[in-house]
């Protein structure tokens, strides 16, 4: 389960996103939500990284920053696409905040996103064909017959067969799992090299979850697509990803290869998440997660370790010192904790 | 794993049984289906159907006037403006078989006036409604999508227009300018389009703007223009249609008021018919001269209510919360 080594596809450095709260047209906002706080990581082509954390910790915001639906407050996201010959606009490193309008189309052909809510991520008035062909239409790729053929092919690929019976359905005529297949088809139809999948199975019923996960994994492998898989479920990430990054209140607190992280979790938050993973043996009693209280809102957070308030191991040092920087404790195993 | 493989390289051959699909035809068929489904919900409202029937009757009346003029009605007697009923010695005269609704104080046939005016009421109402809704939909979508300064400016303008008393403003304008039917429709349309209707459509557009499919469209590479015209405005159209109905009501009513006050530069309308009755001093003696007032007054009331009620019935088709779940 090692990732192909063709240099980093993606380098994220010191990424920050702060959302102002309050304020208005003529008033400066005074408070900020630090949704993403000094996040850095790298990804190689064809690799899959799981981004795991509780709801509200900033996972979706990271995803939207990566696909340039949001602009970072600070820091940089740099892609190095392997196919510059196809897209002269994308030769060399591409930093998302420097993309000019002419490059944007080419960028969108390489970087796509699958959204969390399959019920809301399709325009209810548009057909499956309209939704999947949208990237082709707005990018001016192909003419009608070519688009029809292409959409039919991709429908087959995501398992909506026979394609002809799905092409002109509207979202309300599809089940949740079918909608998410359409969402996957839309993301893949222009052949991206990187996809952000934002909790693609969290809104589905249990029966279709596994099928969608399998499909994603199979297609990504077959088409050589790297993906960031966002989930709040460590068990899902373990199943889907080469590496896992654990996020807490806007910070990545631990990042390692999947097996290493599961065998040797160093951050108390990761350990707590692991103890919450359901065991395959139903007779074994599940231990309560070893953390205190609830996730707080990252509004103007104090400088100290973000996890301090809930950490069962917190010491005086943790209160005094600023949030610990990530350190490489073992090869490729990064953790941000004073005590690890 | 991928060494620059084409996305579709190993996809199986597709055989679309329908052969080459004519996309336009499919879309047409789907639009037809949507219309049919909407109609099925609409007809469940008895009042809606009744109102639509009333509107249809008025439409027939509008069409019947030129036909009657060309066949059975001689222009020198029945022209709604210049005609004179030589067969009577006294005007206004009550209804009889030659003049089913009698004549006015100037000896003109009331039924002819009533039918002739119907066309103008439709033109006025529909023009005003199209202008209102065209402007309001665009303003609402643009304000909601861009937000910020654009939104603030458009919404302050809307507040300003709402704060102005509508009918009084029209009275001032009509005193200053010679307002004919077309300009009146335009003014009502612009005031409504930048005013209250824009605010309503904007609040709807705001709820569409935050839908994930808008972000999905942006991620697909869709520009602002694409998002506004392909995703936001089509989702506003049902509500726009609804407000078209309400605008028609408002426009016909405004015309009646202004005509009654003698402020419009138009030859004949329901409002002018009542105006004529009033200037002749017959309005207060209405019980004895009912045919001067009732036909026009009832027509105004009926047509205004019919458009309003069709709007309310459409509300049920358009507003999913009032609708049975998932049709
Ligand atoms: N557009 C926004 N404006 C203001 N706050 C936001 C916005 N988007 C997200 N947030 C806030 O940022 C934090 C992280 O949100 P999100 O990235 O959606 O978390 P997750 O996906 O991990 O559940 C939350 O506290 C959320 O309220
Ligand atoms: Mg999220």
Return per-residue pLDDT of chain A as tens, 340 residues: 344 445 688 999 999 999 988 766 567 777 889 999 999 999 998 899 999 999 989 999 999 999 999 999 999 999 998 765 567 777 788 899 999 888 899 999 999 999 999 889 999 989 999 999 999 999 998 888 889 899 999 999 999 988 888 988 889 889 999 999 999 999 999 999 999 999 999 888 888 899 999 999 999 999 999 999 999 999 999 999 999 999 999 999 999 999 999 999 999 999 998 887 655 555 545 454 556 666 667 787 888 898 988 888 888 898 889 999 999 999 999 999 998 7
Q: Is residue B111 situated within a structural domain?
A: yes
Q: Do A108 and B221 touch (CB under 8 A)?
A: yes
Please check whether residue A4 lies inside any domain of the structure.
no
For residues A115 and A56, what is the distance between their CA atoms, to the nearest angstrom?
16
- pLDDT for A84 equals 56
Residue B91 lies in a domain: yes
Pick the closest to residue A168 from B214, B27, B28, B24 (CA basis).
B27
Nearest to B169 by CA among B192, B138, B135, B136: B192
Rounded to a whole number, what is the distance in angstroms from the first to the last CA of chain A? 27
Task: Choose the mutation target among A121, A129, A186 for the interface with B, i.e. most B CBs under 10 Å.
Answer: A121
Instruction: Establish whether the linkage from the previous residue to A154 is cis, with ω within 30° of 0.
Output: no
**Alpha carbons B119 and B66: distance in angstroms, whole number:** 10
ipTM score of complex: 0.88
Ligand 1: does its nearest atom lie under 6 Å from the Cβ of A56?
A: yes
Whether ligand 1 lies within 6 angstroms of the CB of A60 is answered as yes
Q: Are residues B28 and B95 in the same domain?
A: no
For range B22-44, the mean pLDDT: 84
Whether ligand 1 lies within 6 angstroms of the CB of A59 is answered as yes
The number of C-beta contacts closer than 8 angstroms across A and B is 108
User: What is the rounded CA–CA span in Å between residue A306 and residue A247?
Assistant: 11
**Confidence at residue B203, expressed as pLDDT on a 0 to 100 scale:** 93
- Asked whether residue B19 falls in the same domain as residue B168, the answer is no
Of the candidates B2, B152, B221, the beta carbon closest to that of A46 is on B2
Protein residue whose Cα sits closest to atom 5 of ligand 1:
A19
Domain that holds residue A106: 10-277+288-335
Say if the Cβ atoms of A25 and B212 lie within 8 Å. Answer: no
pTM of the model: 0.84
- Asked, for residue B145, whether it belongs to a domain, the answer is yes
Q: Structural domain tally of chain B?
A: 2
> Does ligand 1 lie within 6 Å of residue A35's CB atom?
yes
CA distance A113 to chain B (A): 7
Nearby residues of B245 by Cβ (< 8 Å), 6 or more positions away: B129, B307, B308, B310, B311, B314
Residue nearest to atom 7 of ligand 1 (CA): A19
Percent above pLDDT 90 for chain B: 39
Average pLDDT of the residues in B97-115: 87
Q: Is A174 in the pocket of ligand 1 (CB under 6 A)?
A: no
Q: Which residues pair with A114 in a beta bridge?
A: A197
Establish if B55 belongs to a structural domain: no
Q: What is the CATH number of the domain that holds B223?
A: 1.10.3720.10
- Read off the pLDDT of each residue in B88-106 and give the average, rounded to a whole number: 82
Could you tell me if residue B48 is inside a domain? Answer: no
A120 CA: distance to closest CA in chain B (Å)? 6
Question: What is the Cα–Cα distance from B60 to B68, expressed in whole angstroms?
Answer: 12
In this predicted structure, what is the pLDDT of residue B4? 36
Give the single-character DSSP code of A299.
Answer: B
CA atoms within 13 A on the CB side of B77: 14
Rounded to an integer, the average pLDDT of B127-145 is 94
CA of A35 to the centre of ligand 1 (A): 6
**Domain count along chain A:** 1
Ligand 2 centroid, distance to A195 Cα (angstroms): 15
More confident: A52 or B260:
A52
**CA B34, CA B29: separation in Å to the nearest integer?**
9
Q: In this structure, are B103 and B191 located in the same domain?
A: yes
Q: What is the pairing mode between strands A226-231 and A48-52?
A: parallel
Going by alpha carbons, the residue nearest to atom 6 of ligand 1 is: A19
A202 lines ligand 1 (CB under 6 A): no
pLDDT band at B228 (very low <50, low <70, confident <90, very high): very high
CATH number at residue A243: 3.40.50.300
The sign one gets for the Cα dihedral B189, B195, B198, B204 is negative
In this structure, are B209 and B294 located in the same domain?
yes
Range of the domain at B25: 1-42
Instruction: Flag if A191 and B6 touch (Cβ within 8 Å).
Output: yes
Q: Considering the domain boundaries, does residue B50 fall inside one?
A: no
Question: Could you tell me if B272 and B265 are in contact, meaning their C-beta atoms sit under 8 angstroms apart?
Answer: no
pLDDT of residue B32: 87
């Amino acid at each position: 389960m090692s990732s192909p080594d063709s240099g980093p596809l993606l380098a994220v450095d010191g990424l920050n996103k702060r959302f102002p709260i309050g304020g208005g047209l003529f008033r400066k906002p005074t408070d900020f939500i630090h949704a993403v706080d000094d996040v850095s990581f790298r990804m190689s082509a064809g690799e899959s990284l799981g981004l795991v954390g509780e709801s509200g910790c900033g996972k979706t915001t990271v995803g939207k920053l990566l696909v340039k639906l949001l602009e970072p407050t600070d820091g940089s996201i740099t892609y190095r696409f392997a196919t510059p010959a196809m897209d002269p606009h994308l030769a060399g490193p591409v930093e998302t905040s420097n993309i000019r309008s002419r490059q944007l189309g080419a960028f969108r052909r390489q970087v796509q996103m699958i959204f969390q809510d399959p019920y809301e991520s399709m325009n209810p008035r548009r057909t499956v064909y309209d939704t999947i062909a949208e990237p082709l239409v707005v990018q001016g790729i192909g003419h009608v017959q070519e688009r029809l053929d292409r959409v039919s092919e991709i429908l087959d690929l995501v398992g909506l067969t026979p394609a002809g019976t799905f092409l002109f359905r509207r979202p309300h005529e599809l089940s949740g799992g079918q909608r998410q297949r359409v969402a996957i088809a839309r993301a893949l139809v222009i052949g991206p090299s990187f996809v952000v999948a934002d909790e693609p199975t969290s809104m589905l019923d249990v029966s279709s979850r596994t099928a969608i996960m399998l499909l994603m994994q199979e297609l990504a492998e077959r088409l050589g697509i790297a993906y960031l898989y966002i989930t709040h479920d460590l068990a899902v990430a373990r199943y889907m990803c080469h590496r896992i990054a654990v996020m807490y209140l806007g910070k990545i607190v631990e990042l390692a290869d999947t097996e290493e992280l599961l065998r040797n979790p160093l951050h108390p938050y990761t350990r707590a998440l692991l103890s919450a993973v359901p065991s395959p043996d139903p007779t074994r009693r599940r231990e309560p997660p070893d953390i205190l209280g609830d996730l707080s809102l990252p509004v103007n957070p104090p400088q100290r370790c973000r996890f301090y308030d809930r950490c069962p191991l917190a010491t005086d040092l943790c209160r005094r010192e600023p949030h610990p920087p990530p350190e490489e404790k073992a090869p490729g195993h990064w953790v941000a904790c004073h005590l690890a | 794993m991928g060494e620059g493989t084409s996305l579709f390289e190993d996809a199986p051959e597709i055989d679309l049984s329908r052969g080459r699909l004519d996309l336009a035809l499919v879309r047409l068929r789907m639009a037809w289906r949507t219309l049919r489904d909407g109609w099925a919900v609409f007809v469940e409202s008895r009042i809606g159907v009744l109102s639509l029937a009333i509107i249809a009757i008025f439409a027939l009346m509008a069409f019947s006037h030129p036909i009657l003029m060309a066949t059975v009605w001689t222009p020198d007697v029945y022209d709604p403006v210049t005609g004179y009923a030589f067969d009577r010695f006294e005007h206004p005269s009550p209804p009889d078989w030659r003049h089913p609704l009698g004549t006015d104080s100037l000896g003109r046939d009331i039924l002819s006036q009533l039918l002739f005016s119907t066309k103008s009421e439709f033109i006025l109402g529909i023009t005003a409604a199209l202008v209102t809704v065209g402007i309001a939909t665009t303003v609402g979508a643009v304000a909601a999508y861009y937000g910020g300064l654009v939104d603030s400016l458009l919404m302050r303008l809307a507040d300003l227009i709402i704060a102005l008393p509508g009918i009084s403003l029209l009275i001032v304008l009509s005193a200053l300018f010679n307002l004919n039917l077309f300009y009146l429709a335009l003014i009502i349309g612009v005031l409504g389009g930048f005013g209250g209707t824009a605010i309503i459509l904007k609040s709807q557009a705001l709820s569409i703007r935050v839908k994930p499919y808008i972000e999905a469209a942006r991620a697909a590479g869709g520009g602002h223009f694409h998002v506004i015209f392909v995703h936001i405005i089509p989702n506003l159209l049902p509500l726009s249609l609804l407000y078209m109905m309400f605008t028609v009501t408002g426009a016909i009513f405004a015309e009646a008021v202004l005509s009654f006050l003698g402020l419009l530069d138009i030859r004949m309308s329901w409002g002018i018919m009542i105006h004529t009755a009033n200037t002749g001093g017959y309005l207060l003696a209405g019980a004895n001269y009912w045919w001067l007032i009732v036909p026009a007054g009832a027509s105004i009331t009926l047509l205004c209510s019919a458009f309003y009620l069709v709007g309310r019935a459409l509300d049920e088709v358009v507003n999913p919360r009032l609708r049975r779940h998932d049709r």
